[in-house]
């Protein structure tokens, strides 16, 4: 058995750079930005694809996609514009992406139900060329369930955490010395009572129904310390909390193993505040954002606030998607599909949210969005519009200003960034 992959940065230096750790991390963030000016910035966009002709039979869990794999772009740091550089072609819908701590490796969750005879999705590992950013496939392994919809790298750099949406499971994959992946060290299958088809907090007249037919693990991520791993199950209306064994790569239920959201609301994604104490969850079918206090000693979540992700007076169906906290910790951004907007909320001194405004995404079905490394721009993946749109962040107000830039990408799902040169 190969030894686990050790990132070039120590765990301590990685944590100092993490945006989760408050004032110290913000200082490190600003220093990194100041030092990066001369380096080329690349963007990698994961997509939904159709099977390639030379692939063995692959059943994609969604209708055939327009993407071709992982699309590579060069980013203009001044304007935010994106220039296409090429594609690493894949027919398995590499819809979710995550870098290793030093960004020498890229991992993709391939959102399929079946590859060959196995009823499972896969996760792929790539080496990233330090000069060009081009990808070289290292290996692909089973994801521990159907349709992996989200993955992250644990803060210690030794494991990939993956949430399998159609499998209703989460898995821990060890990272080997060369950055490739080993077989899962743990797989947990969600179980319980599936919530109702009508969300408790949906807007008037909503017919939003997506995931209350079975268990659906939708996102997984460690807390800032790496001691706990949290994941959401949309079908169960729960956020599950695990203690993480950083040596064995195994999960055991925390002291309070889960919190429940209102029936039918469907938690989808979450984000920690830079102070590590405030935790924001977005509900796909209920179109809400919920604030929890996070206890770093026990992993316990305590609910304090829920409010709509939509502007006052909205009626009809909507499906929420992404949630982000601004790098300076002053604003929360919430994605609305069908309304096709990003809701903007100010964070008060106690972590509570106040609605500010919303910004039209200039596209259809915003699946996710991400800040560039400098925190100057927000990039929105409009899944059904086949493009990525670019917005300038107004740091004082938190508002978004459309730059006029579109980058054509078939069914974009997620965008991540890396510097080269």
**Model confidence pLDDT, tens digit, residues 3-57:** 444 444 433 333 333 333 344 444 444 444 444 457 999 999 999 998 765 554 4
CA distance 13 to 351: 27
Has residue 385 been placed in a domain? yes
Is 6 within the bounds of a domain? no
pLDDT score of 304 more than 50: yes
pLDDT value, residue 140: 97
In the predicted model, is pLDDT for residue 115 greater than 80?
no
List, as one string, the DSSP characters of 149-165. EEEEE-TTSSEEEEEET
| Residue 13, pLDDT score | 39
Q: How far is CA 413 from the centre of its chain?
A: 10
Is residue 391 within 8 Å of 377, Cβ to Cβ?
A: yes
**Element spanning 363, H or E:** none
Is residue 61 scored above 60 in pLDDT? no
Chain length of the chain: 421
Percent over 90 (pLDDT), the chain: 84
In a domain, 3, yes or no: no
- Quick check: is 1 in a domain? no
Q: What are phi and psi of 27, to 5 degrees?
A: -65, -45
Is residue 5 situated within a structural domain? no
Q: Which of 16-30, 122-136, 172-186 bottoms out in mean pLDDT, i.e. has the lowest?
A: 16-30
Query: Which residues span the domain enclosing 151?
Result: 11-420
Pick from 63-77, 181-195, 325-339: least confident: 63-77
Chain centroid to Cα 224, Å, comes to 15
Is residue 113 in some structural domain?
yes
- Number of domains, the chain: 1
Give the tens place of pLDDT for each residue, 324-345. 999 999 999 999 999 999 999 9
CATH number at residue 339: 2.130.10.10
In a domain, 287, yes or no: yes
Asked whether residue 2 is assigned to any structural domain, the reply reads no
Q: What is the pLDDT of residues 289-303, one digit of tens each?
A: 999 999 999 999 999
């Amino acid at each position: 058995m190969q030894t686990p992959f050790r990132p070039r940065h120590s765990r301590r230096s990685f944590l100092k750079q993490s945006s989760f750790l408050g004032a110290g991390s913000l200082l490190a963030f600003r220093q990194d930005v100041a030092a990066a000016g001369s380096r080329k910035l690349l963007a990698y966009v994961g997509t939904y694809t159709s099977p390639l002709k030379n692939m063995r039979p692959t059943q994609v869990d969604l209708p055939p996609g327009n993407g071709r794999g992982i699309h590579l772009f060069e980013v203009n740091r001044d304007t935010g514009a994106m220039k296409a550089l090429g594609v690493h072609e894949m027919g398995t819908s590499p819809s979710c992406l995550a870098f290793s701590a030093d960004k020498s490796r890229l991992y993709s969750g391939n959102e399929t139900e079946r590859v060959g005879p196995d009823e499972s999705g896969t996760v792929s590992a790539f080496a990233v060329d330090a000069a060009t950013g081009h990808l070289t496939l290292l290996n692909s392994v089973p994801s521990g369930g159907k349709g992996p919809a989200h993955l992250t790298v644990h803060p210690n750099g030794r494991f990939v955490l993956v949430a399998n949406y159609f499998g209703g499971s989460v898995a821990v994959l060890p990272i080997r010395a060369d950055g490739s992946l080993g077989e899962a060290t743990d797989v947990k299958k969600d179980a319980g009572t599936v919530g109702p088809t009508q969300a408790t907090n949906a807007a008037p007249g909503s017919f939003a129904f997506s995931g209350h037919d079975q268990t659906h693990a939708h996102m997984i991520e460690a807390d800032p310390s790496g001691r706990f791993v949290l994941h959401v199950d949309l079908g169960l209306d729960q956020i599950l909390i695990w203690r993480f064994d950083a040596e064995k790569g195994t999960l055991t239920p925390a002291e309070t193993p889960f919190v429940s959201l209102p029936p039918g609301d469907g938690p989808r994604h979450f984000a920690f505040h830079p102070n590590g104490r405030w935790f924001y969850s977005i509900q796909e079918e209920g179109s809400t954002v919920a604030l929890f206090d996070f206890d770093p000693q026990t992993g316990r979540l305590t609910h304090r606030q829920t409010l709509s992700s939509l502007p006052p007076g909205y009626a009809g169906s909507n499906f929420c998607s992404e949630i982000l906290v601004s790098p300076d910790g002053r604003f929360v951004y919430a994605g609305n599909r069908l309304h096709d907007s990003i809701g903007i909320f100010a964070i008060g001194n106690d972590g509570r949210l106040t609605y500010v405004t919303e910004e039209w995404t200039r596209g259809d079905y915003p699946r996710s969005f991400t800040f560039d490394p400098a925190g100057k721009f927000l990039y929105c993946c409009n899944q059904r519009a086949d493009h990525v749109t670019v917005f300038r962040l107004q740091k004082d107000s938190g508002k978004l200003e459309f730059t006029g830039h579109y980058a054509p990408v078939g069914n974009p799902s997620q965008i991540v960034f890396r510097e080269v040169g």
